[in-house]
């Protein structure tokens, strides 16, 4: 059977915890190595058949963890038929070197967790960047990615 597969991989690590966050995520970096060891073991247990067409690295903040960890995950799969690989990111975690490495790994879509351009709201949410960082790293990312989306937040109680 020629099933098409969309792969979602959860990376549950963040630099800090946002005020509104209900996602399974942690700031405890001491368990990162163990988490990735178990994740790779679990991937090895999955018996999938079909062609992987898309990959989405979600979080958490996948752009917060080392690129080496992402590379190890990708090596577990046959990605020769993939048309889109997305990584979720927070603006303050990006830099030129990392963006270049993502590009080299075949990641071709960047999901940028902007949430809002209002610095006072970003601060109230405990986000670790401001609109200058968003702008700077967005234009940096444009050197490597033509497919970039912004995530925005709506309906934040008492704030938006």
Where along the sequence are the contacts to ligand SF4 (CB under 6 A)? 14, 17-18, 21, 23, 25, 59-61, 90
The residues, any chain, with a CB within 8 Å of residue 61's CB and separated by 6 or more, are: 11, 13, 14, 15, 25, 88, 89, 90, 93, 113
CB 151 within 8 A of CB 120: no
Least distance (Å) between residue 122 CB and ligand SF4: 11
- Our CB check for ligand SF4 shows the closer of 36 and 111 to be 111
Helix (H) or strand (E) holding 55: strand 51-59
Which DSSP string do the residues of 80-114 spell out, in sequence order?
TT-SEEEEEE-GGG--HHHHHHHHHHT--EEEEEE
- Our CB check for ligand SF4 shows the closer of 58 and 84 to be 58
- Our CB check for ligand SF4 shows the closer of 82 and 92 to be 92
Structure tokens at 148: 């970039």
- Our CB check for ligand SF4 shows the closer of 16 and 108 to be 16
Least distance (Å) between residue 59 CB and ligand SF4: 5
Least distance (Å) between residue 154 CB and ligand SF4: 14
Least distance (Å) between residue 64 CB and ligand SF4: 8
């Amino acid at each position: 059977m020629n099933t098409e597969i969309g792969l979602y991989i959860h990376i549950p690590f963040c630099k800090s915890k946002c005020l509104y966050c209900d996602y399974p995520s942690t700031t405890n970096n001491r368990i990162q190595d163990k988490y990735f060891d178990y994740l790779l073991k679990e991937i090895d247990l999955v018996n999938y058949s079909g062609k992987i067409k898309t990959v989405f690295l979600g979080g958490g903040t996948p752009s917060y963890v080392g690129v080496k960890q992402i590379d190890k995950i990708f090596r577990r799969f046959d990605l020769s038929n993939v048309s889109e690989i997305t990584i979720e990111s927070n603006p303050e975690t990006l830099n030129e070197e990392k963006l270049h490495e993502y590009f080299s790994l075949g990641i071709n879509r960047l999901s940028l967790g902007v949430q809002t351009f209002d610095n006072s709201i970003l601060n109230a949410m405990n986000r670790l960047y401001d609109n200058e960082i968003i702008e700077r790293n967005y234009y940096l990312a444009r050197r490597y990615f033509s497919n970039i989306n912004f995530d925005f937040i709506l309906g934040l109680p008492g704030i938006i």
